[in-house]
C-alpha cells in the first residue's frame, strides 16, 4: 500500500497544492497500485508515508509549519529511510537552511537542502516554465523569496518566469523534489507525478496517456515554450 501524506493542508496549500495527492492517487490507481492519502493537520505528528507533500503558504503559516516540523523532527529520518518529499514554494523554502520573512527576519529552516532564501526586491508572480531534462514543467508562481542553492542540484532551468533566482527552479535531491510551481503542479505536469510515483514504488511505471498530457502540451504551447 502506497501512503501519501499531505503535510498541514490547513496551513500549507495555497493554490490547491493538496490536489497533488489526488493526482498521485489517480495515477497510481490506473497502474493497479493501491494507495491511501493521509491528511496530516497542523499540530499532528507526521505519519509514516512513502510520499510527503508540502505546499505553499503565507509567511506566518510558513513559519509556524516550519517550527512544528522542526519539533516533530521526523521528516529527515523518513527521507533517509527512503520516503520522497514533494515541496512547493513555502514548502521548498522550509526545507532549506534558512528563509527571510517580513522585514529582514531570518528564519531557520529544516536544513534538508543546501538552500538559503532571501527577500527579493519585488514579488515573483505569474506563469513559470522550467526545462527539466527533456521535459517542460509549467505552473504558477507567487512568492517574495529568492532562493540560492550551493553546489547545484536545482530541479531545472527557467524558460520563463522566475523560479529560485531567474535562472533555475527548485531542487532535485535524493528523496526531495522541490519547485516554486503551484498548479497543483502534478495536475499540470503528469510526467512529474509519474516520476515521483516511480521513485516511491521503486520501478518504472507503464506509460499512461490521458487528457492531462494534451492539457500539459497546450499549456506549454500557450506560454510560448513549444513551437
Q: Which stretch binds ligand GLN (CB under 6 A): 32-40, 43-51, 53-61, 213-221?
A: 53-61
Contact predicate 193/23, CB 8 Å: yes
The correct pick among 6, 50, 52, 56 for binding ligand GLN (CB under 6 A) is: 56
CB 128: neighbour CB atoms within 10 A? 27
Smallest gap, in angstroms, from Cβ of residue 34 to ligand GLN? Answer: 31
CB 38: neighbour CB atoms within 10 A? 16
Give the C-alpha distances (Å, rounded to integers) separating 77 from 46, 48, 74, 93: 11, 11, 5, 19
Contact mark string toward ligand GLN, 8..47, x via CB under 6 A: ------x---------------------------------
CA 21 distance to own-chain centroid:
12
Q: How many residues bind ligand GLN (CB under 6 A)?
A: 12
Toward ligand GLN, which CB reaches closer, 171 or 212? Answer: 171
Write out the binding residues for ligand GLN, residues 127-156 only, by CB under 6 A: 142-145
Q: How far apart are CA 22 and CA 7, in angstroms?
A: 14
Toward ligand GLN, which CB reaches closer, 146 or 212? Answer: 146
Toward ligand GLN, which CB reaches closer, 9 or 57? Answer: 57
Smallest gap, in angstroms, from Cβ of residue 167 to ligand GLN? Answer: 17
Is 7 a binding residue for ligand GLN by CB under 6 A? The answer is no
Task: List, in sequence order, the alpha helices (H) in the chain.
Answer: 19-29, 59-72, 75-80, 90-95, 185-188, 190-201, 211-222
Q: How far apart are CA 110 and CA 17, in angstroms?
A: 20
C-alpha cell at position 160: 520563463
Is 96 a binding residue for ligand GLN by CB under 6 A? The answer is no
Binding interface with ligand GLN (CB under 6 A): 14, 56-59, 62, 89-90, 142-145
Amino acid at each position: 500500500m502506497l501512503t501519501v501524506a499531505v503535510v498541514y493542508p490547513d496551513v500549507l496549500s495555497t493554490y490547491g497544492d493538496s490536489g497533488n495527492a489526488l493526482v498521485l492517487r489517480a495515477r497510481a490507481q490506473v497502474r493497479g497500485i493501491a494507495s491511501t492519502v493521509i491528511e496530516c493537520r497542523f499540530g499532528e505528528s507526521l505519519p509514516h508515508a512513502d510520499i510527503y507533500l508540502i505546499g505553499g503558504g503565507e509567511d506566518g503559516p510558513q513559519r509556524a509549519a516550519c517550527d512544528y516540523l522542526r519539533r516533530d523532527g521526523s521528516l529527515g529520518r523518513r527521507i533517509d529511510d527512503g520516503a520522497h518529499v514533494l515541496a512547493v514554494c513555502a514548502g521548498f523554502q522550509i526545507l532549506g537552511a534558512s528563509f527571510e520573512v517580513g522585514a529582514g527576519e531570518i528564519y531557520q529552516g529544516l536544513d534538508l537542502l543546501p538552500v538559503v532564501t532571501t527577500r527579493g526586491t519585488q514579488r515573483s508572480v505569474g506563469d513559470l516554465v522550467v526545462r527539466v531534462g527533456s521535459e517542460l514543467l509549467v505552473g504558477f508562481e507567487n512568492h517574495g523569496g529568492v532562493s540560492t542553492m550551493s553546489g547545484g542540484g536545482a530541479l531545472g532551468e527557467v524558460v520563463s518566469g522566475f523560479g529560485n533566482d531567474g535562472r533555475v527552479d527548485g531542487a532535485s535531491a535524493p528523496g526531495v523534489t522541490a519547485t516554486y510551481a503551484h498548479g497543483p503542479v502534478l495536475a499540470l505536469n503528469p510526467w512529474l507525478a509519474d516520476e515521483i510515483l516511480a521513485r516511491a514504488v521503486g520501478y518504472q511505471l507503464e506509460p499512461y496517456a490521458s487528457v492531462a498530457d494534451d492539457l500539459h502540451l497546450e499549456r506549454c504551447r500557450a506560454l510560448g515554450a513549444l513551437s
